[in-house]
Structure formats: C-alpha cells, structure tokens
Chain A
C-alpha cells in the first residue's frame, strides 16, 4: 500500500501543522507585548509548544526515514517534483531547527526552558546577551521561512486538489474519499 500515507505519518503531519499554526502567530503576537504576567505566560506556552513540535518532528523524520511515502503523481513535471521534494526536506529540517534555535535563544537570554513547567531542558549555552540577540534573529528568520514554506505547501496541496484534481491532498486526509 503506497498510495496513502500511514496513519502515523498522517497523525504526526496534522498535529505538527496544528501546533505550528498556534506557535507562529503566538510568537509574532507576544514578542511586542509590554512586559506583564500575561506575556510571561504566553512565552512559556510558546516554548512548551515548540518543545512539543521538536519531539513530534523527531518522530516524524524517523518515521519518514523508515517508511516510504506514496510516490508523486506521474503527471507532475520534473521541476515540480524537485520543488516539492525540496520544500518537504526544508520543512523537515525547519521543524527540527526552529524549536532548537528558540531553545538556545532562551538559554542565552537566561531563561531555561522547562517543558510544561515540569521537565527542564538543559541549557546548552550559558547566559550571553550578544549570543541571545543573535539567536533571536536566527529564530525569527527561520520561523518566517518555515511559515512561508508552510503557506507554499498549502498552496501546492490546494492546487493539486482543485486544479490538477489528483489525490495528493486526499491521501493526507483519511476521511476524504479517494477520487474514483
């Protein structure tokens, strides 16, 4: 059965998608808030979501490496396949390194990341203002890049579904009936 993604791949895909759609707007919104308990709480939530994305991303990448995904439709041009593969690999890399950049930034700024306030992640770098500011920029640029690619990914999926009218989107949405 290679015409559909495995249930695990589908579940991880949508879970990570949902969390990105929570973490990205939250990050953009909270960044400019005046300092308040509310802001501190949002920062914690954002970090907890990020750690969760990272853990799911590790599972997803491991799963992807050990389970062959369905092949792309033969109707796609070579350049389209190349663009799709490139975007997919970039997304895999970004869902791993965006959380890591945030985690390192947090450590450099002197705030340890403690997942759900319970599980402390080690500080891999010490408190360092310049490093913290640099990592903030890195985290920001990578996050925008990730979100941009997510939008491109969605655009491509919709194009497949509504213009090419192929099975590319359906095979990632189990409850949608397969086209005849």
Chain B
C-alpha cells in the first residue's frame, strides 16, 4: 500500500507551507575572503577550504542557521613567503589552531532583502561576538548570501609580536562571505 506514504508526504508539504529550504552549498560559487590594509593599501586574501552548514528559507530568513568551519591552512595571501608567515606562530598558528569557525545566533531583518546575523566567531580559540549584515537573493534555483563585516585581528591575537604594530598592518580586517546554496529538491 503506497497510499499512506504519499499522504504523509503531502501532509509534510502542507505543514511546511511550501517552504523551500536552501542548504546545499555550491563550493564553486562560494567564497570566504578578507581584505586587510597594509601601509594604507587594501590587500585581498581568501580561504580556499571551508565547510558551510547553512539552512535558510527565504520566506523566513530569521529562522536561518549557519555554521562555518574554516580550514585555516587553506589561507591564500598571494605568495609563498607571506603564506609561511601567516600560518606561523605569530599569526594563525595553524599547527595549534587548525580551525576557525562561525556559529550563527539571532538573525534580524534590517531592510527588505537585508538582514543581520549575530554570531560567535572563533579564531585561535578566542571567541568573540560579531554581527554581520548580509543580503539574500534568489538566482534561478539557488539562493545567494552576500555580506561583509569587520573584525579586529588583535582581538584574536592574530599577528602578535612585531606584527602588533597596526601602522603597518591595520587592526581592522574585513571578512567577505559569498555563499551560493541550492535547495534539496
């Protein structure tokens, strides 16, 4: 008898109110980048490997949840010499702290299509509260999340010792995220 199974499925559909949850990350169309300032000059970098467990229903973004886990060793700062330096002890200390993460908390709507997620950012085992504004946009069968927020690198002891001089490398670093999600259907 197939009938009960189908009715159960239909029931599921009606209670969810035609909600479509987007939760499958398309890594090729997603990025996690940052912009630092060195001697007054913006320098781009990014993390090549990260896991993003995101579940957002565009009809109810306030209910969305996200957890981002970053493989810190996948950082790209545009050069081998700089890479050796930033994965080292005075910067990210990848040997000791291989992962960084972001865990979302409350999501609030700030304008049509614009939201802000509060959450906890952990780098080098230091956890701080952050707030990240972002936009949601449905493009074809995908949902695109785009946003940026500043952090202070010294809050997480990123770049200690000689590098704590913020005249050369500024304290503020802008984190830019771009996630493309597909729905389960």
- Enumerate chain A interface residues (CB-CB to B < 8 A): 35-38, 40-41, 43-44, 109-114, 117-118, 120, 127, 129
Contacts and interface: CB of A to CB of B under 8 A. Distances in A.
Contacts of B169: 37, 40
A114 B162 CA distance: 23
B40 interface: yes
B99 to A, nearest CB: 24
B165 interface: yes
Given A117-B39, A117-B41, 15 more contacts: A35-B82, A35-B84, A36-B162, A37-B162, A37-B163, A41-B168, A44-B41, A109-B78, A110-B43, A111-B38, A111-B41, A111-B43, A113-B41, A127-B44, A129-B79
A111 B38 CA distance: 9
Contacts of B38: 40, 111
B39 A110 contact: no
B78 A37 contact: no
B141 interface: no
B163 A110 contact: no
9 contacts: A35-B85, A36-B162, A36-B163, A37-B167, A37-B168, A37-B169, A40-B38, A41-B168, A118-B40
Contacts of A129: 79
Interface of B: 38-44, 78-79, 81-82, 84-85, 162-163, 165, 167-169
B39 A112 contact: no
A118 B111 CA distance: 34
A110 B43 CA distance: 7
Contacts of A37: 162-163, 165, 167-169
B41 A127 contact: no
Nearest to B42: A112
Contacts of A36: 162-163
Given A35-B85, A36-B162, A110-B44, A41 B78 contact: no
